[in-house]
Chains A and B, each alone.
Chain A
Amino acid sequence: KAGVTQTPRYLIKTRGQQVTLSCSPISGHRSVSWYQQTPGQGLQFLFEYFSETQRNKGNFPGRFSGRQFSNSRSEMNVSTLELGDSALYLCASSGQGGGEQYFGPGTRLTVT
């Protein structure tokens, strides 16, 4: 089985712009979670989607949003980018049972 894929791998944006990141889960996995990783804050949960519904959300401002499509692929969007949004954004998918989440390679977002 192919692993979790994320596109793009690297992104440079300017403050005030918006960005969309994409994640394709492992085939058959219906749950997709997003995490932000920074040196200062570590790994922080953004949101989780299951069957096109957001069922869990972390403590991030409304500028961070996401969605999931019928094929389980997910996108996250960050509007009005701030310098502090520079981070590695990780997507993880999980199947039924087991609990373990499998991570993609991440998207490195740099905001200048």
Chain B
Amino acid sequence: AQTVTQSQPEMSVQEAETVTLSCTYDTSESDYYLFWYKQPPSRQMILVIRQEAYKQQNATENRFSVNFQKAAKSFSLKISDSQLGDAAMYFCAYLRYGGSQGNLIFGKGTKLSVKP
């Protein structure tokens, strides 16, 4: 069974600085998706970024980028120029590729605080 581990329950960053959130996963499959979701205090889960395992190039979305290390089964999220609105719970998630993709498997989350 696949598992996702986020080893940092809480992180803090100064506004305008850079922070990296860690995520490791375990799977025996070669094709899959990885995601980072953000859940602000209002509770709406928002997709931040996605990565297909077959792509070697790391995904980037504006200030958000990932460091995908397939062999190490590592998928970290870097937030550059942190803003107050980045404060939220961040969840790393895994999804099987193709067919009945079924369910996202989530990590326990990392609570990010942004200090002004």
**A contact residues vs B (CB 8 Å cutoff):** 31, 33, 35, 42-43, 45, 48, 50, 55-56, 58, 88, 90, 92, 94, 98-106, 108
Contacts and interface: CB of A to CB of B under 8 A. Distances in A.
Nearest to A58: B103
A101 B100 contact: no
A43 B43 contact: no
Nearest to A103: B45
Nearest to B45: A103
Nearest to A88: B43
Interface stretch (B13-21, B22-30, B74-82, B104-112): B104-112
A33 B103 contact: yes
B97 A103 contact: no
Most buried by A among B100, B101, B107: B101
B104 A90 contact: no
Given A45-B102, A99-B50, 5 more contacts: A43-B91, A56-B103, A99-B97, A105-B43, A106-B44
By Cβ-Cβ distance, the 8 closest A-B pairs, closest first, are A45-B103, A103-B45, A56-B102, A99-B33, A43-B106, A55-B100, A105-B44, A99-B95
B84 interface: no
B11 interface: no
Which of A42, A58, A99, A106 has the most C-beta atoms of chain B within 10 angstroms of its own C-beta? A99
Contacts of A92: 45, 104
A44 B66 CA distance: 24
A60 B44 CA distance: 23
B43 A42 contact: no
Contacts of B33: 99-100
B109 A48 contact: no
15 contacts: A35-B103, A35-B104, A42-B106, A45-B104, A45-B105, A55-B102, A56-B100, A56-B102, A56-B103, A88-B43, A94-B101, A98-B50, A99-B33, A104-B44, A108-B43
